[in-house]
Structure 1
Amino acid sequence: MIKKLSLVLILTSLPLLAWSFVKPVRLLFPHLNGMKCHNSVCVEHTKEMEKAEELYGSAFDAVSSAGIPLRSKPIFVYCSTLECYQSFGGGYERAISYPFLGTVIAPASWQSYITQHELIHWFQFSEIGAVATMMKPEWFREGMAYSYSNAPDSDIPEHYLPLMERYNDWHSKKSWTEVIEQAGEL
């Protein structure tokens, strides 16, 4: 009886422990972390929803119009406070994508090009695989994301410029099917 009770106690406390210590897990149920959600977009305050949905929609359209076949619309949490961003596991980066869970956008990063950048990572996760993507060279992962983000040159860290150039040279005139197939060889 004590073994069964202990097992029940452990199994019921695991979700609470995960919620408390593995902050990205909160993306599974962002509304339980105080977010207001509509479709794939979540915000802290309902009044921010229209702006966040516009950012998400325009970024999704821009990525799709570049010929990049997005198969799903991942959850994007747009935080307006640092506390929100950190509550989902964010740190000093401008945005962060967690494979299988979603993306969190930092308060100062509500730009379409940052959402586009993160959508490219989602394309990589879905087409190449999350673990396989993380094993690819940085010039491939970040070079592709910056190349298709439409970020202004002034907002691209200088050390990423050669990565973009290397990715663009490698991609050249390849179709997306060829890019995915040949990414496996990297």
Structure 2
Amino acid sequence: MRKLFMVLVIALIPALAWSYAKPLRLLLPHLNGVTCNGSVCVEDTRGMDQAIELYGSAVKNISAARLPLRASPTFVYCSTVECYQSFGGGNERAISYPFLGTVIAPESWQRYITQHELVHWFQFYEIGPVSTMMKPEWFREGMAYVYSNAPESDIPEHYLPIMVKYDEWHSNKSWSEVVQDAVDL
């Protein structure tokens, strides 16, 4: 009887994690109703070409800015709020989970939002996810907004001075200096 109980408990752990720790669904996104092509996943396959183009052009722009990406994180582009929430999304426009992937909300299929999230991946890989989250907002979000190339009209007003502060801090530093100096923030 005790062995049966232990088997049931062990069998329930993945099911409970899948049900309640929604970001874990990014590990096997196709089991959550999306279709994937490499690192790009979509809820509605009619949007696959657009999502691949957004991801590819964002990676190209980030690389042109000399932010080296060490990996190709999984990006799920949702067409419905239900999809976004099923991966743990809330009221934000996109969310990145270190080691798992990124989810883009239905209204956020823009290159600059993908670029913004790729900058967070750069931070996760170069500085570490926990260390990144402990950095000041002006560094985390300032860097992401600066390198997203978002139109100013689509940047929340309170982030504009944060971008200036990041830009002034970064100024003429090389990426290795930025990463090293970020450790000391």
Counterpart CA distance in 2 for 1:3 and 1:68 is 54
Q: Give how far 1:11 is off.
A: 1.2
Q: Deviations over 1:89-111 (max 9, x none)?
A: 11110000001100000000000
Write the distance in 1 (CA, Å) between the matches of 2:106 and 2:20: 22
1:68-97 CA-to-partner distances (Å, cap 9, x unmatched) read 011111000000001100111111100000
Any idea what SS the aligned residue of 1:72 has?
coil
Residue identity matched to 2:157: E
Q: Which consecutive unaligned segments of at least 5 residues does structure 2 have? A: none
Taking the aligned partners of 2:118 and 2:98, their CA distance within structure 1 comes to 11
Give the TM-score taking structure 2 as reference length: 0.99
- In the alignment, is residue 19 of structure 1 matched against residue 8 of structure 2? no
Aligned residue in 2 for 1:74: 73
Q: CA deviation at 1:174?
A: 0.5
3-state SS of 1:51 partner: helix
What amino acid sits opposite 1:132 in the alignment?
Answer: S
Q: Is 1:130 the counterpart of 2:129 in the alignment?
A: yes
Stretches of structure 1 lacking an aligned partner (at least 5 in a row): none
Amino acid aligned to 1:12: A
Quote the residue 1:91 is aligned against.
90
- Match in the other structure for 1:170: 169
State the partner residue of 2:61.
62
Cα distance in 2 for partners of 1:173, 1:11 equals 53
Q: How many residues of Structure 1 are paired with residues of Structure 2 in the alignment?
A: 185
Match of 2:118 in 1: 119
CA RMSD, 1 decimal: 0.6
CA distances 1:1-37 after superposition (whole Å, capped 9, x unpaired): x332222211111010000011111101110000000
Q: Distance in 2 between matches of 1:142 and 1:120?
A: 9
Deviation digits for residues 19-74 of structure 1 (CA, Å, limit 9, x no counterpart): 00111111011100000000000001211100000000000000000010111110
Write the deviation string for residues 97-149 of structure 1: whole angstroms up to 9, x where unpaired: 00110000000000000000000000000110000000000000000000000
Aligned match of 1:161:
160
Taking the aligned partners of 2:123 and 2:2, their CA distance within structure 1 comes to 44
Q: Are 1:39 and 2:38 counterparts?
A: yes
Query: Aligned pair 1:102/2:84, yes or no?
Result: no
Q: Distance in 2 between matches of 1:10 and 1:127?
A: 38
State the identity as a percent. 70
